[in-house]
């Protein structure tokens, strides 16, 4: 694909989405930038012409708005080459301390919203782009989705679910469609995502002197301290831009040392259990 490519970025007003939008525009590529409140992207509109930037309202929990964004992208630029499926929210709390309505709402955004963006992206790449052009689908998950930990139980579940559906989707794609799917599992990165995050105090039963703070809660609290060093969002996004250029991109990309070490340790624990109890599966076939 010759440059400039056309990107569609969800959640462009903050966090990774905003950083990616800025990087792609700075490289002279075109962006369909989406946000629940388009006014949050006024700075970009003042700096880039409509021939390079299209701002569209999108709340990913509304399926009709997802379809409209892709329609407007084709009307403006004729195609979409890369979808950066990024919009999301976070909620930190022990499983017992998470209100059901907030957990369900987070699933609506992080799973159903992201899953519907993925599904429409694949359809668009196949049916609307020039034949054989295909496209790149980059979905932002979390290493908590690959290695869940306490204090982020329901958040981890949303990210595990969107990872599973994207992996299944990738397995269903005909290779001749030239569509590449990647799930990104970043470490916790300091961004301006604060207004999309919520943290709850632990339930009374989790505050006793014999109960250690969970890894998740310690991590979340430390991340709020400006002096606490985290991965640099711009450096991470630069690597994800490089990912979009690979001819044979990975299906899974844990990125950040915290993510890499956490995912490796989690997989090693699983493999140890599998190997320890592998013999239990012998002689289970019907006679």
172-183 confidence digits (pLDDT tens): 999 999 999 999
CA–chain centroid gap for 64, Å, is 21
Predicted pLDDT of residue 196: 58
Is 217 a domain residue?
no
**How many domains does the structure of the chain reveal?**
1
Beta-strand pair 53-57/30-35: parallel
Does residue 35 surpass a pLDDT of 60? Answer: yes
User: Residue 266 above 50 pLDDT?
Assistant: yes
pLDDT band, very low/low/confident/very high, at 205 (cuts 50, 70, 90): confident
198 close to 224: Cβ distance less than 8 angstroms: no
Output the CA angle 145-148-229, nearest 5 degrees: 85
Q: Is residue 33 part of a domain?
A: yes
DSSP 8-state code for residue 2: P
The SS3 call for residue 279 is helix
223 assigned to some structural domain: no
CATH code of 170's domain: 3.40.50.720
Tell me whether residue 45 is in a domain.
Answer: yes
Mean pLDDT of all residues in 230-236:
85
- Using CA atoms, how far apart are residues 212 and 68, in angstroms rounded to an integer? 48
Q: Is the pLDDT of residue 226 over 90?
A: no
223: left (phi over 0), alpha (psi -120 to 50) or beta: alpha
- Asked whether residue 77 is domain-assigned, the answer is yes
Q: How far apart are CA 184 and CA 136, in angstroms?
A: 13
254 within a domain of the structure (yes/no): yes
In a domain, 140, yes or no: yes
CA distance 273 to 137: 33
15: tokens are 């966090």
CA distances in angstroms from 65 to 54, 58, 70, 111, listed in the order given: 15, 6, 9, 16
Supply the range of the domain harboring residue 167. Answer: 6-202+230-277
Burial tier of 207 (Cβ tally within 10 Å: 0-12, 13-18, 19+): exposed
Within-domain flag for 222: no
Chain length of the chain:
287
* Stated pTM of the model: 0.91
Indicate the angle between helix axes 153-172 and 100-107, nearest 10 degrees.
30
Q: What is the pLDDT of residue 151?
A: 83
- Tokens representing 52 are 């390079």
At residue 78, the 3 state secondary structure works out as: coil
Q: For the segment 36-45, what is each residue's pLDDT rounded down to a tens digit?
A: 999 999 999 9
In 3D space, the residue among 244, 243, 222, 232 whose CA is nearest the CA of residue 92 turns out to be 222
SS3 content of the chain, % helix, strand, coil (to 5): 50, 15, 30
Token readout for 116 is: 């519907």
Q: Are strands 6-9 and 30-35 parallel, antiparallel or unpaired?
A: parallel
């Amino acid at each position: 694909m010759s440059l400039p490519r056309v990107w569609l970025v969800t959640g462009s007003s903050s966090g990774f989405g905003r950083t990616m939008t800025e990087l792609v525009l700075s490289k002279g590529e075109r962006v369909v930038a989406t946000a629940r409140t388009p006014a949050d992207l006024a700075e970009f509109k003042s700096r880039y012409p409509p021939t390079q930037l299209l701002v569209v309202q999108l709340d990913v929990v509304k399926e009709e708005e997802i379809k409209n964004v892709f329609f407007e992208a084709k009307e403006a630029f004729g195609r979409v080459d890369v979808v950066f499926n990024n919009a999301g929210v976070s909620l930190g709390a022990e499983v017992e301390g998470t209100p059901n309505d907030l957990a369900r709402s987070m699933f609506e955004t992080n799973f159903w919203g992201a899953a519907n963006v993925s599904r429409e992206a694949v359809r668009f790449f196949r049916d609307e782009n020039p034949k054989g052009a295909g496209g790149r689908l980059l979905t932002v998950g979390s290493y908590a989705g690959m290695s869940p930990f306490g204090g982020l139980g329901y958040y981890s579940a949303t990210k595990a679910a969107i990872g599973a559906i994207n992996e299944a989707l990738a397995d269903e794609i005909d290779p001749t469609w030239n569509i590449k799917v990647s799930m990104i599992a970043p470490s916790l990165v300091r961004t301006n995502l604060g207004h999309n995050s919520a943290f709850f105090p632990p339930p009374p039963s989790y505050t006793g002197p014999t109960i250690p703070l969970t890894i998740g809660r310690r991590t979340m609290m430390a991340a709020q301290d400006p002096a606490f060093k985290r991965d640099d969002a711009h450096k991470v996004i630069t690597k994800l831009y490089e990912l979009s250029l690979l001819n044979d991109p990975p299906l899974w990309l844990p990125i950040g040392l915290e993510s890499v070490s956490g995912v490796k340790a989690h997989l090693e624990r699983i493999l140890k259990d599998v190997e320890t109890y592998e013999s239990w599966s012998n002689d289970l076939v019907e006679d």
